[in-house]
Amino acid sequence: MHTVDTHHDEGKGQYFWVWGALLVLTAAEVGLAYNQVFQPVQMLEALMILSVIKSALIIGWFMHLKYEIAAMKWVMMTAVTICLCLMCVFFADAFRIVHLGVK
């Protein structure tokens, strides 16, 4: 059995920096949504990229995955990748239903 005995000496400052980054990214998302600078597809892509960055910060620092062993990180990233692939499959089906005129 593998145990991680390393001591993580981190202060609250690191969490405040991450929290500040999350606030800035959220403000950017809100600004993009209200100003509608891009076309809808590009807007969705930009918001999804910002959301993935925010989720990586949350998972890494607030859920402490940053300090896990490499195998745990790979399991998590594999699960996220599979979930995103399944979302793409279901979105394609949703677009098919929209084009058929089903409401």
| 27 in any annotated domain | yes
Residue 82's domain spans which residues?
68-103
Q: How many helices (H) and strands (E) does the chain have?
A: 3, 0
Query: 75: how many CB neighbours lie within 10 A of its CB?
Result: 12
Q: What is the pLDDT of residue 53?
A: 92
* Residues 80 and 58 reside in one and the same domain: no
Task: Tell me the CA distances in angstroms from 71 to 26, 54, 64, 78, 81, one per residue in order.
Answer: 30, 22, 14, 11, 15
Q: pLDDT truncated to tens, each residue of the chain (103 aa)?
A: 555 555 555 678 888 999 999 999 999 999 998 988 888 888 888 988 999 899 888 888 887 777 778 888 788 888 888 988 888 888 777 777 767 766 5
Q: Which residue has the tokens 């593998």?
A: 2
| 4 in any annotated domain | no
| 1 in any annotated domain | no
Task: Determine if the pTM surpasses 0.85.
Answer: no
Q: What is the pLDDT of residue 90?
A: 82
| 46 in any annotated domain | yes
